[in-house]
Amino acid sequence: MAARTEAQDTGLTVVAGLGLVAPPPIHIQAPTFEGSLATLLKCVRDNKVQLLDVPLLPVCEAYFDYLVQTNLADLDEAAAALLALAFLLERKAWALLPNEQPEPEPEAPLELPEPTIHEYAPAIECLRTWHDERAKRFFRSPDASPEPYELPFTLAKVKVEDLAMALERVLRRAVPATVEQLNKPRRSLSEQMRIVLVALGKEFKPLEDAIPSPYTREDAVYWFLALLELIRLAQVNIRVTETEVAFARAH
Partner 1 sequence: MEVVDSVMALLFVADEPVPTELLARTLNIGDGQVDQAIEILQARLAEGGPLQVVQLAGGWQLCTRPEFAEPVAAFLKPQRQRLGRSLMEVLAIVAYRQPITMAEVDAARGVQSDYSLRQLLERRLLQEVGRRSTPGRPVLYGTTQQFLHQFNINDIADLPKLSAELTDLVGVEALAAGAPVAEGEEDVEVEDSGAKPTEPDESETEPTSPEAERTPVVAE
CA distance 215 to 208: 10
Closer Cβ to partner 1, 116 or 237, answer by number: 116
Question: Are 31 and 9 contacting, i.e. CB atoms less than 8 angstroms apart?
Answer: no
Question: Are 114 and 20 contacting, i.e. CB atoms less than 8 angstroms apart?
Answer: no
User: What is the nearest approach in angstroms of partner 1 to the Cβ of residue 221?
Assistant: 24
Instruction: Show contacts with partner 1 in window 48-87 (CB under 8 A).
Output: 76, 80
Q: Which of residues 8, 101, 141, 243 is near partner 1 by CB under 8 A? A: 141
The span from the first CA to the last CA of the chain, in angstroms, equals: 75
Question: Are 233 and 190 contacting, i.e. CB atoms less than 8 angstroms apart?
Answer: no
CA distance 95 to 101: 11
By CB under 8 A, which span of 20-28, 149-157, 165-173, 226-234 interacts with partner 1? Answer: 20-28
Closer Cβ to partner 1, 18 or 211, answer by number: 18
Q: Which of residues 31, 98, 102, 142 is near partner 1 by CB under 8 A? A: 142
Q: Which of residues 86, 95, 124, 164 is near partner 1 by CB under 8 A? A: 124
Number of residues that bind partner 1 (CB under 8 A): 42
CA distance 65 to 69: 6
Instruction: Show contacts with partner 1 in window 89-118 (CB under 8 A).
Output: 108, 111, 113-117
Q: Which of residues 71, 100, 102, 138 is near partner 1 by CB under 8 A? A: 138
Asked if residue 206 has a cis previous peptide bond (ω within 30° of 0), the answer is no
User: What is the nearest approach in angstroms of partner 1 to the Cβ of residue 230?
Assistant: 25
By CB under 8 A, which span of 60-68, 129-137, 186-194, 221-229 interacts with partner 1? Answer: 129-137
- The secondary element (H helix, E strand) that includes residue 66 is helix 57-70
By CB under 8 A, which span of 54-62, 133-141, 154-162, 230-238 interacts with partner 1? Answer: 133-141
85: left (phi over 0), alpha (psi -120 to 50) or beta: alpha
Q: Does 145 bind partner 1 (CB under 8 A)?
A: yes
CB hemisphere CA count around 180 (13 angstroms)? 8
Closer Cβ to partner 1, 77 or 208, answer by number: 77
Residues shown for the chain: 251
Q: Does 36 bind partner 1 (CB under 8 A)?
A: no
Measured from the Cβ of residue 140, the count of other Cβ atoms closer than 10 Å reads 7
> Interface residues with partner 1 (CB under 8 A)?
3, 16-22, 39, 76, 80, 108, 111, 113-117, 119-120, 122-124, 126-128, 130-145
